[in-house]
Chain A
Amino acid sequence: MDYIPNTDADLSAMLREIGVASFDELVAAIPASLRKFKMELPAAMSEPELQRELGAMAARNKPLDALTSFLGAGAYEHFIPSAIDALVSRGELYTAYTPYQAEASQGTLQLLYEYQSLICRLTGMDISNASLYDGGSAVGESVYLALNAQPKRSRIVISNALHPEYRQILRTYTAGMEVEIVELPTRDGVTDLNTLAAAVNENTAAVLLQSPNFFGCIEPMLRAGELTKPKGAWFVAVVNPLSLGALRPPGEYGADLAVGEGQPLGIPVGYGGPYVGFLTSSKQLVHKVSGRIVGRSVDTEGREAFCLTLQAREQHIRREKATSNICTNQSLMALRACIFLALMGKRGIRKIAELNLRRSHQAADAICRVPGFALKFPRAPFFNEFIVTCPAPAQTVCDRLERNGILAGVPLSRFYAGMERDLLVCVTETKSTADIERLVESLSRAASQKV
């Protein structure tokens, strides 16, 4: 099966027009030794065969529809309005490329401008780019910006409660740079602000705090920002955008940058991708921001029109002097987020965020009534995730519940030493009272089983 319209007759006629006797004449520049190789691939399949074979492969997985999942930890199961899939399936949107030719790309450009504006309204920040790859790489990019904009500063302060994968990405991204990464401990589920105050100095380029953090706890962002600013370092907030329907946005606590994972905004969990990273900044930093940015302008007749702007920041112009190397980003995923926010609207975004808050607290209360289970950090406020300490190793508890089709949460032992009994449980608006009751009953049964 291929997707080539030209027939052998077409190709022969074209070769004649080109003035060569055969295709091989066109590729004579390739050394003959390079043309002799054997490529081992499965035999070509027709479309029905693809549907059958790959359908069978998909069927070997157990999707969330067949399970009751309380997994979060950076990827969240949320309601996805049907209009999103219908709209992003339009070929005009998903088979276009980066809108280099503005006049033939006004659809993509206006939608990205609306995405930027919606994200700004949600975060309370002034500037948003048109997307990055995902939350983790957005964290990496934010550090590139902070280091690049402040060449005399080389310390990055992060918290032990920043997503473990984001921390790893940060270290990987900066492997070729002169940078000192200081990791702060937590106390009662949130970053220890005494250690923050001590770690921030004149050499600090940025302090990154995630809220809600990896433990699900809402960090004291206002205070952390206040401790960061006097030393001239940037305060970078890593936030869950959906939580901002109910929680105080970074623009209200003075963040210089707010970044994060946009997946909760209408993007399927999709086994980890494609997602979308968002990166927003205060007005002052607009020329430092990386990635595509769409601007509103006019055409020669004075009509409103959109185009990519501030391109002089980017790799195709500045080459090795660019702050970032990003080229292809996640436009279609940004479009999903844009449509999600438009559909939710002013009231919907608050309602869905509040539902997350209420469902997770309902579940936390119910789980804690089961003997042997307790909230790990009872004093820290949380949004839609919390850590439960189990009477048995969390992995054992999860294994037992999986047999009943319940994914109880993410055992934290894989990320943190000394947290063998700790389970990160996520409860979003997709869970009903009945789901929570099932989880609680199953936990209660699992706890009473002999190890």
Chain B
Amino acid sequence: MKEPLIFDLSSPGRRACSLPAFDAPAKPLAELVPQECLRQHDAELPEVSEMDVVRHVTRLSQLNFSVDTHFYPLGSCTMKYNPKINDQIASLPGFARLHPYQPASTTQGVLAAFELLEQTLCAITGMDEFTLQPAAGAHGELTGLLLIRAYHTARGNPRSKVIVPDSAHGTNPSSAHLAGYHVVTVPSNKQGEVDIEKFRAALDEEVAAVMLTNPSTHGVFETNILEIAAMAHKAGALLYYDGANLNALIGLARPGDMGFDVVHLNVHKTFSTPHGGGGPGAGPVGVKKALEPFLPTPRIAHSAADGTFSWNYDRPKTIGKMRSFYGNTGILIRALTYILAHGVEGLHRVSEVAIINANYIKAKLKDLYDDPFPQACMHEIVFSGKRQKKQGSSARDIAKRLLDFGFHAPTIYFPMTVPEALMIEPTETESRETLDRFIAAMRQIAGEITQNADSLHNAPFTMPVTRVDEVKAARELDVNFVKRNA
């Protein structure tokens, strides 16, 4: 049965919350605040009981796929298991019940945790300094590009261009544009790597930065990375690392050693913080020494004299602030917990198993799905559904049909460089048995397409709803419930 909207559950006079009574003499509100500043009509919020809300949200939750309930191989999103200890630690009152403007004398523990997290992120990435302020990956990108802009500006010319490969996440060109740069797109070669000759041709004195994801969104390692770094640096450009795919390299190789000057990390990917149905995440940004003066304010200061921590706002060259206060503390504490659980060996095993799991899927499916890049993949595999498309079923059909088998769909139609892309990222936290079931489902779907491609057009068949009409959603826009249609 369809769960009604919360507004449909409303009944006049019903309530869910009790609030304290005001126990002092109460003046009329208009004596406190002028009448014209006061709300004249109550906000039409629903009137429901607490149990109404609890059942409503619980029932709705049951309509979702999630990591806790389903294999979720959404490529480039690293939907790994979210350890429960992380949540427990982050919700300790000593972390969750702190006001951001409390005096530092009352927040030494959280400041120590932040410093430790910065240090561990430096060790993992090979960078010199980190800021924890950005709230998500794209926010980290914008931070990184503004740092690069400040760096070049301090040297006399902000420069005007940013080079981005055609396989880049959409956030890369978008962030570069917001930082005031013209975006130059460089094509990939047949191996799915940056076309080095086209790259050379695009590189000039006006290039402020080269943004790369490594492994790229094609799931392959940029074998020319050291050469690319040398070329970029020779032209005076900085190298930017999109950390969305760090899960492939953690403990295995470090962006800092490859020559990257600025990196952002997605802790909700690599460091297991829950994705929350679309956030919150956190997007710490690491830099090499030369960019440190520009990092957002404030920075943690650790007194050599007495060992105490404080916030340092005296940062004359800072780019400023990217968000209020210090960052998504609750998420950062989860990431720290995850890192401390693993240690060096544990983190190395993360990338190793993530890579083996992805190659296992590749080996077991490459006879049925086109594999555009035949070399070993890293932590994710990008297939093309070209063959299936010719037979009459699209990547979307395959994705929707997978839901019927109890698997979340891969990322589809991205990267845009691969037609009918199916981007599968199993992560290290899935067992061989789960992968085998997924492989069996993909093989069965390929068989179904060969026999009757049309049958997939109406998939999924077992979800709470059948395919949702996205065209109608955009044309007859209803994004705010006003009243029930008759």
Contact = CB atoms under 8 A, between A and B. Distances in A.
Contacts of B352: 11, 23
A111 interface: yes
Interface string A76-98: 01010101011101111111111
A104 B33 contact: no
Interface in B335-373: 336-337, 339-347, 349-350, 352-353, 355-357, 359-360, 362-364
Interface stretch (B274-282, B284-292, B440-448): B274-282
A10 B375 CA distance: 23
Contacts of B376: 20, 25-29
Contacts of B43: 121-122, 124, 244-245, 249, 346, 349-350
For this complex, into which size category does the number of interface residues on chain B fall?
A: 35 or more
B179 interface: yes
Nearest to A58: B94
Given A93-B64, A286-B477, A315-B170, A169 B17 contact: no
Contacts of B93: 58, 63-65
| Most chain B CB within a 10 A radius of its CB, from A3, A77, A169, A354 | A3
Interface in A345-400: 345-352, 354-355, 357-359, 361-362, 381-383, 398
A376 B73 CA distance: 58
B58 A90 contact: yes
A136 B341 contact: no
Given A111-B57, A127-B479, A273-B325, A104 B65 contact: yes
A108 B64 contact: yes
A14 B171 contact: no
A100 B103 CA distance: 42
B277 A110 contact: no
B468 A91 contact: no
Interface string B48-68: 101001101110111111111
Contact of A295 (B145, B254, B346, B477): B477
A425 interface: no
Contacts of A310: 474, 477
B123 interface: yes
Interface string B78-92: 011111010111011
Interface stretch (B195-203, B316-324, B382-390): B316-324
Given A345-B15, A351-B19, A77 B403 contact: no
Interface stretch (A198-206, A227-235, A321-329, A438-446): A321-329
| Most chain A CB within a 10 A radius of its CB, from B39, B138, B476 | B39
Contact of B94 (A59, A298, A324, A350): A59
A21 interface: no
A355 B22 contact: yes
Contacts of A142: none
Given A134-B324, A320-B183, A328-B281, A34 B257 contact: yes
B66 A347 contact: no
| Most chain A CB within a 10 A radius of its CB, from B19, B135, B279 | B279
A108 to B, nearest CB: 4
Contact of B329 (A59, A270, A319): A270
Contacts of A62: 102, 106-107
B428 interface: yes
Interface string B470-481: 101110111111
Contact of B17 (A249, A271, A348): A348
B372 to A, nearest CB: 16
Nearest to B146: A175
A190 B324 CA distance: 22
Contacts of B105: 402
A419 interface: no
Nearest to B250: A39
A248 B171 contact: no
Interface in A119-161: 120-122, 124, 126-128, 130-131, 133-137, 144
B45 A344 contact: yes
A244 B432 CA distance: 53
A194 interface: no
B29 A354 contact: yes
Contacts of B170: 314-319, 322, 327
Interface string A291-317: 011111111110111110110101111
Contact of A79 (B16, B19, B83, B460): B19
Contacts of A56: 109
Contacts of A40: 123
Interface residues of A, number: 205
A60 interface: yes
A279 interface: no
Contacts of B252: 27, 30, 35
B108 interface: yes
Contacts of A50: 85, 89, 337, 340-341
B323 A134 contact: yes
Nearest to A77: B99
B219 to A, nearest CB: 12
Contact of B95 (A77, A87, A177, A271): A271
B357 A270 contact: no
A105 interface: yes
B135 A273 contact: yes
Contacts of B235: none
A247 B39 contact: yes
B100 A75 contact: yes
Contact of B46 (A269, A325, A346): A346
Contact of B16 (A19, A81, A99, A317): A81
Contacts of B258: 34
B306 interface: no
B180 interface: yes
Given A14-B360, A317-B170, A92 B479 contact: no
Interface in B165-205: 169-171, 173-181, 183
A42 B80 CA distance: 23
A342 interface: yes
A124 B480 CA distance: 11
A54 B39 contact: no
| Most chain A CB within a 10 A radius of its CB, from B6, B110, B113, B355 | B6
A83 B54 contact: yes
Contacts of A381: 32-34, 37
B155 interface: no
Contact of A325 (B178, B253, B342, B474): B178
A451 to B, nearest CB: 19
A243 to B, nearest CB: 9
Contacts of B82: 94-95
Interface in A249-287: 249, 252, 261, 268-275, 286
Given A62-B107, A252-B40, A270-B329, 14 more contacts: A61-B98, A62-B106, A75-B324, A100-B74, A103-B466, A111-B277, A121-B43, A272-B324, A293-B479, A295-B474, A316-B169, A325-B171, A328-B266, A348-B45
23 contacts: A2-B342, A4-B353, A5-B429, A33-B226, A90-B57, A103-B467, A105-B63, A117-B481, A124-B43, A165-B325, A252-B40, A270-B329, A286-B479, A310-B477, A315-B174, A325-B138, A325-B171, A328-B137, A332-B276, A345-B47, A348-B16, A354-B22, A432-B23
Nearest first, the 6 A-B pairs at minimum CB distance are: A176-B180, A272-B325, A91-B68, A58-B94, A44-B343, A60-B109
